[in-house]
Structure 1
């Protein structure tokens, strides 16, 4: 996390206004947008380092960093899942993560690494999971009804939540913030909240979901942790795919203070109001 006084104050303020923000949301199926802001630092660095995972065309990469500076909310949440109203599916667990990481990939402090982040990324192979198999009859996203769309979203959300084990960026890379696909260590996948979101985005695109329907978002949880999720816009509203919840969930049903959200398919981000 970014250990700055402004960040601490910002998160404290966000938690203090959580209840008000939830009430303000009311019954809006689509998340309202505010003013344009810079992309989160972790996202911008990802796009400069790994354009394929970033998913932006070259014409959009030049836009990164333009606009007023957003609040730097670190997205390193590996906290406990929120209570659910659905039957719980198996969830990721942190049991045994530390011994596995210590044995397979000792962390070198950033100041001692003596190598650029590109070199660190090259030393950290990402997951090469096969996309979730989709029946040919429903392989076109636009031809599906929303029930079938939600079925696919829940399938991929739960698969990624189950397969990726929770570990912080500091544990994996010796850095407070490092956006990437989940890291493979000893045959197992590890990552924190934004890594889950990026893997879900990758699998959904491979399954035929248009990039224009997908966006990343940053929030602060009720526990006061910076958190990143994947959002998808359906005809009925904006849904959230979250590593803390097995089900695709309407954005306003989550007890989060929403900080900022990507404009789908672009390097542009806006505040969320």
Structure 2
């Protein structure tokens, strides 16, 4: 039977103040259980765990260690956090070129793809560290992925393309370098084997490591756009 449109609407029961408070508290608890907010950044615990389960057991095992690290990162000294994240990925990833790891000449893996594979090239190390530090609360302005020419074997050695992650305490400060070639986080001046070519993050693209803008990284670098989407689908923000 259709309702009579002329009939007055039934009066809605007004919840008591105690019930209203309880509903709000439960909503807050549920939100906190899945979304961990750290400053201006956040990561989604449930989405990350589900993404790891879809990828496989190596990703699941790694995420169980990674998530507590991210949760504790907001209250940690950033330089100590850099060393911890750098070591976490350097110890778990075996350097392998994309052709051997992915069957492609140039593939940019998401953090959890890299952890599941247990293999990756220099871009994969840098990408995984970048998104993990963002999730742990490091401001995006302090982080840049840097394409460099690396002199392998010291001065006069073989020069090859390479990628590292740079962290800046201040915009014009000398950056600290997170790398898979040398496990220790060092100031850029202590890495004479690296010559920067260009750098980028989620917000900008620069010549070298300077302040000269070279455009929008998301529109200029298609692989970067793709890996940002994959990382967000994995719970990284």
Residues 140-194 of structure 1 deviation map (CA, whole Å, 9 limit, x = unaligned):
4xxx6xxx22111111101100011111011122222222235759965110001
- Partner-residue secondary structure (3-state), 2:184: strand
Q: Provide closer, same or farther for how the CA distance between residues 191 and 199 of structure 1 changes in structure 2, counting only shifts above 3 A.
A: same
TM normalised by structure 2 equals 0.52
Q: Which has the higher contact order (CA 8 A, sep 6+)?
A: 1
Cα distance in 2 for residues equivalent to 1:160 and 1:249: 16
Matched, 1:168 2:97: yes
Deviation at 1:234, TM superposition (A): 1.1
Aligned to 2:148, what secondary structure does the other structure show? strand
* Structure 1 residues 245 and 132, CA gap change in structure 2 (3 angstroms): farther
Question: Which is greater in Rg?
Answer: 2
Given candidates 199, 208, 211, the residue that maps to 2:137 is 208
* Secondary structure at the counterpart of residue 183 of structure 2: strand
More helix by share: 2
What secondary structure is seen at the aligned counterpart in 2 of 1:222? strand
| Partner residue in 1 for 2:167 | 232
CA shift, 1:265, in A, is 3.3
Check whether the contact 1:180–1:195 (CA below 8 A) recurs between aligned residues. yes
Contact 1:260 1:271 in 2 (8 A): yes
Give how far 1:133 is off.
2.6
Relative to structure 1, the CA distance from residue 177 to residue 149 in structure 2 (aligned partners, 3 Å threshold; closer, same or farther) is: same
CA RMSD of aligned residues (A): 3.1
Does the alignment pair 1:261 with 2:177? Answer: no
* TM-score, scaled relative to structure 1: 0.46
Q: Please state how far the C-alpha of 1:201 moved relative to its aligned partner.
A: 1.1
Distance in 2, matches of 1:191 and 1:154, equals 19
Residue deviations 1:196-246 (CA, integer Å, cap 9, x gap): 011111211221112221110011111212100111111453111101122
Contact 2:198 2:205 in 1 (8 A): no
Using the alignment, how far apart are the partners of 1:137 and 1:185 within structure 2? 22
Check 1:237–1:267 CA distance in 2 against 1; reply closer, same or farther (3 A cut).
closer
User: How many angstroms apart in 1 are the aligned matches of 2:198 and 2:174?
Assistant: 17
In the alignment, structure 2 segments of 5+ residues that lack a partner are: 1-53, 153-158, 211-237
Report matched runs for 1:106-145 at 5 Å.
125=55, 127=59, 129-130=62-63, 131=66, 133-134=68-69, 139-140=74-75
Equivalent in 178, 186, 195 of residue 249 of structure 1: 186
State the aligned residue count: 143
Q: In structure 2, how many angstroms separate the alpha carbons of the residues matched to 1:270 and 1:152?
A: 27
Shift of 1:137: 7.7
5+ residue gaps, structure 1: 1-123
